[in-house]
Structure 1
Amino acid sequence: MQKNTLFLTTLLVANSAVAADLEIKITNLTHGLHYTPILVAAHSAEHRLFQSGTAATLALQKMAEGGDIDELVGIVASIGGNSLVNPAKGLLAPGAEASGMLVTTGNNRFLSVTAMLLPTNDGFVGLNSWAIPTEKGTYTVMLNAYDAGTEANDELVKEGSGATNVRGIPAAPGGKAGTGGTGVTLEEFNKTVHIHRGSLGDDNLTGGKSDLDNRVHRWLNPVARMTVTVK
């Protein structure tokens, strides 16, 4: 009888550890960058939205080059994951924050985050497989920016293109970008996902190499803060 009681207690503890109610808040820490719709995903240990040192999937490329998270959301659903989709209800401006609730189920004990950084060619704020704490409380995680490795960082803005997988930066929210740049670089030598080296920009708004304003669009890691409250 004692063994059965011990087994039942252990089983109840194990089951309680695989589900959690999470309150998630993400703050944009940059001076002049906007985030496209954010995806926060809870998933099991064997799955990932991205991984440093490996080539980006097509779904990740669409997010990193054009801000389209639809395919990533579909992938999370197909693996039985849980998603908090677009908590900002659009772009997340510099200094702003977005929050929402995420209920995890099953073995979804890890959190990942993605959202494109604008204006960049294929930069995104990312978190890869952060282990959700089992104890109730509030936890803070600093998020870095990654380069998807799928497009050269030419820093040339193609305003109004509005399409995914278009060479060049699809938009520069805030209206601070210039025009007439010749391009910072024409090739991406590291074609795997890696930590972003940042945007160079320049102070020539009608020429130079970059369309980005170095007084507005320069940034360093970390680019975001995520606060997770485990209920």
Structure 2
Amino acid sequence: MKPLLLAIAMGAAFSAQAANIDVSITNATDGVYFTPLIVAAHSDDANLFQTGTPASEAVEAMAEGGDISGLEDLALSVGAAVSANPAEGILAPGETASTRLYTQHGDVLSIAAMLLPSNDAFIGVDSWKIPKKRGTYVINANGYDAGTEANDELAASVPNPPFLTFGTGGTGVDSDVANQAVHIHPGNLGDTNATGGISDFDSTKHRWLNPVAIITVTVY
């Protein structure tokens, strides 16, 4: 094969091994907020988090305080295509954030962000295999528990952003971490007692069940 034809053939082969994807993340809850999101496409031999294994320091920082810098550093260190904070801040209930990533053949998709209010809950997509075929795909994303902090649901134990209103005087929902590995979160319990009860979360706003996000992935 002549050099020019070889170069064209190699370029075509390379293009066939890569694709752009658009990722749209919709907050499907009624009164729970997402901290800045991290969206990463990476090889299937790496993970941002894994269900059934203890959370890394980077996952703990994200799940307890919304800090995604450690996960971003991890993703970049394994050559991932990364979109950090596509919502440019907090993603409120019902709102959607979108981003585009350039992916390689065989890549998987991972997504994470803390759920507010919570002790250590986060929206998670763990290494979802990106389809080879062009089209639009939908992921129903669950909320996970990092297993790093008891779910006491007390205002003193969680971030207190100005857009959230907490009760006071709660005695605490839970004081133990029964499962210290990343696992599906049971959801906030909350109560309707603004000056007592077991929780400082408002059950009419802050309670949630899975899934917590609807994610649309378009492969081009």
CA shift for structure 1 position 119: 0.1
Alpha-carbon displacement from aligned partner over 1:4-24 (angstroms, at most 9, x marks no partner): x9xx97x77763343211111
Segments of 5+ residues of structure 2 without an aligned counterpart are none
Q: Is the 8 A contact 2:32 2:206 kept in 1?
A: yes
Q: Secondary structure at the match of 2:155?
A: coil
Question: What is the alpha-carbon distance in structure 1 between the residues aligned to residue 80 and residue 106 of structure 2?
Answer: 6
Question: What is the alpha-carbon distance in structure 1 between the residues aligned to residue 12 and residue 107 of structure 2?
Answer: 15
Q: What does residue 147 of structure 2 align with?
A: 149
Question: What is the alpha-carbon distance in structure 2 between the residues aligned to residue 108 and residue 60 of structure 1?
Answer: 24
1:47 alignment partner AA: A
Q: Is the 8 A contact 2:111 2:124 kept in 1?
A: yes
Pairwise CA RMSD: 1.9
Question: What is the alpha-carbon distance in structure 2 between the residues aligned to residue 23 and residue 46 of structure 1?
Answer: 22
CA shift for structure 1 position 56: 0.3
Deviates more, 1:65-74 or 1:176-185: 176-185
Whether 1:190 and 2:179 are equivalent positions in the alignment is yes
The alignment's TM-score, normalised by the length of structure 2, stands at 0.92
Q: How many residues align?
A: 215
Equivalent of residue 191 in structure 2, options 202, 208, 214: 202
Q: Is the 8 A contact 1:42 1:108 kept in 2?
A: no
TM alignment of 1:96-175, pairs within 5 A = 96-105=95-104, 109-158=107-156, 168-171=157-160, 174-175=163-164
Alpha-carbon displacement from aligned partner over 1:84-115 (angstroms, at most 9, x marks no partner): 1111100000111111111124x561000000
Change (3 A) 1:117 1:123: same
Alpha-carbon displacement from aligned partner over 1:148-189 (angstroms, at most 9, x marks no partner): 00000000113xxxxxxxxx1112563332112111111111
Change (3 A) 1:117 1:16: same
2:122 alignment partner AA: F
Q: What does residue 49 of structure 2 align with?
A: 50
Question: What is the alpha-carbon distance in structure 2 between the residues aligned to residue 18 and residue 73 of structure 1?
Answer: 24
Q: Secondary structure at the match of 1:72?
A: helix
Q: Is the 8 A contact 2:39 2:112 kept in 1?
A: yes
Q: Is the 8 A contact 1:125 1:224 kept in 2?
A: yes
Alpha-carbon displacement from aligned partner over 1:1-56 (angstroms, at most 9, x marks no partner): 9xxx9xx97x7776334321111110000000000000011110110011111100
2:60 alignment partner AA: Q
2:57 alignment partner AA: L
Q: Is the 8 A contact 2:106 2:129 kept in 1?
A: no
Change (3 A) 1:139 1:116: same
Q: Secondary structure at the match of 1:144?
A: strand
The alignment's TM-score, normalised by the length of structure 1, stands at 0.88
Q: What does residue 225 of structure 1 align with?
A: 214
Change (3 A) 1:15 1:173: farther
1:200 alignment partner AA: L
Q: Percent identity?
A: 53
Alpha-carbon displacement from aligned partner over 1:203-222 (angstroms, at most 9, x marks no partner): 10111110001111111000
Q: What does residue 37 of structure 2 align with?
A: 38
1:207 alignment partner AA: G
Q: What does residue 89 of structure 2 align with?
A: 90
1:23 alignment partner AA: D
